[in-house]
Structure 1
């Protein structure tokens, strides 16, 4: 399990290169340059050119890319582009539905985050999660609601999406993946809403969330900042782990590799904004 700290993953449109540096400097744990929903069809090729120029001018920059869907005319070219770019460290695959498509993307050598956005994707989730190269999972709440005919944002839709959240958590654990990311919160000006959304996601075991505006980043980080009891627990876990070769018990809890990684992440989160 490659469990890097990812409390926030901020989308930035691929056709807005003036925003790339701003996104990278806003404190988010990951920046996702979006080639899909945020970019008009006429600007898809230009988005790649913008990112290529930015990475050439900023060789230390590291970004993720959300490529277009597998049936999009630009998908293959985008995979080829990302494979050749050192500054692209991972790919988000929208509307992931077939393990073979995920495996093909993983041939790029980049970390993969499939986005589950349909009933078909959920049906294939167990195999998708087990596909080599997948780092963690996420889902698209709006697209999933559309696919199932839910009223997006309603209490009923959230009850249905909780089943998706459970499936992501279950299969992440079974496949020894990093914990999943919560979907986007669409209301940019609702600070209390973002905080409540992330508070609930954290309680369910999610590692962080996808963000659509830099203003959401600090709110999410504040929500996820560990308290004194959590830090004390994490420190005791890591102290014991130094002396134990495998799994062990602490305060009646079985401590194994994923739990040890969670302790590391808690301490890491306490030292970041």
Structure 2
């Protein structure tokens, strides 16, 4: 499964930005039919996205499509377009339960993964089932919509409970977890601090809304050389002790520490693009 450190959203009404998005350094690009598109532009956005997906050259960057939500006037047309679109994955807004992904799995095929957005209290309540649903590769936290639904501030502390729940649910299901994109562009220090907080909480990557955000996000989710070297040492020491507890540099190395080291190496491998 492809690991996404960064995912760049691009309005599907702006085809002049599609190629730039692919060369931004993001691990994935998502053509957005939902929030970034005005109601009167939905048909045009859908056509532009399908046309680009059909004509794009082969690239290591995965390109997905964010549909409009179920219950909107545009969902049926989006679903029909998605069935023929050559997208690598589909983002599904306002996921509310695991059952909807069985339907999407049948409608869109068995070989393309889904990324549900958890952005309502109902979605958070059912996030454990959603993360483990059929064909779900990862989850995106929709912090903007969630805070509006709950009536809380778009700040770290009010959203910590939701982020922690999602981190646990996705870890249990063995799927990726992306944090919401930054609320502002042009604040690199805020971007770095927020992204590192999410990484330490258990998120595996972050969404972006501007190409300038991609580099800092990738850097935070790519382990430093010293961190990788230490992870190799931990695993080597554990293996030399035949899988039993062992002291290394005065610190106890046992299975949970080894699992953390393995995750570091997985992140490092994902960062080799």
Using the size of structure 2 for normalisation, the TM-score is 0.86
Larger Rg: 2
Q: Quote the RMSD (CA, aligned, Å).
A: 2.7
- Shift of residue 152, structure 1, vs aligned partner: 2.7
Aligned ranges 1:90-129 → 2 under 5 Å = 90-107=89-106, 108=108, 109=110, 110-129=112-131
| Partner Cα distance (2:138, 2:34) in 1 | 20
Q: Which runs of 5+ in 1 are unaligned?
A: none
Query: Where does residue 152 of structure 1 map in the other structure?
Result: 154
- Shift of residue 237, structure 1, vs aligned partner: 6.7
Structure 1 residues 34 and 248: CA distance shift in structure 2, 3 A: farther
Say whether the 8 Å CA contact 2:231–2:265 is kept in structure 1. Answer: yes
Structure 1 residues 127 and 259: CA distance shift in structure 2, 3 A: farther
| Partner Cα distance (1:267, 1:56) in 2 | 29
- Shift of residue 42, structure 1, vs aligned partner: 1.2
Q: 2:217 aligns with which of 220, 227, 234?
A: 220
Q: 1:230 aligns with which of 227, 232, 236?
A: 227
Aligned ranges 1:1-273 → 2 under 5 Å = 2=1, 4-60=2-58, 62-86=62-86, 88-107=87-106, 108=108, 109=110, 110-153=112-155, 158-178=156-176, 180-236=177-233, 251-254=253-256, 260=262, 262-269=264-271, 271-272=272-273
Post-superposition Cα deviations, 1:100-152, rounded to whole Å, max 9, x if no partner, equal 22322233232111111111111111221221111111211111111011133
Choose 49-58 or 88-97, whichever is displaced more: 49-58
- Shift of residue 27, structure 1, vs aligned partner: 0.6
Task: Give the paired residue count.
Answer: 262
| 3-state SS of 2:8 partner | strand
- Shift of residue 258, structure 1, vs aligned partner: 8.7
Structure 1 residues 163 and 40: CA distance shift in structure 2, 3 A: same
Query: Where does residue 249 of structure 2 map in the other structure?
Result: none
- Shift of residue 5, structure 1, vs aligned partner: 2.2
| Partner Cα distance (1:237, 1:135) in 2 | 29
Post-superposition Cα deviations, 1:216-267, rounded to whole Å, max 9, x if no partner, equal 0011122233223321144357779999xxx987822347889645522223
Post-superposition Cα deviations, 1:124-183, rounded to whole Å, max 9, x if no partner, equal 112212211111112111111110111334xxxx323111111111111221223x1111
Q: Which runs of 5+ in 2 are unaligned?
A: 247-252
Shift >4 Å, 4+ stretches = 236-243, 247-250, 255-259
- Shift of residue 193, structure 1, vs aligned partner: 0.7
Post-superposition Cα deviations, 1:71-127, rounded to whole Å, max 9, x if no partner, equal 1122122223223223x0111111111222232223323211111111111111122
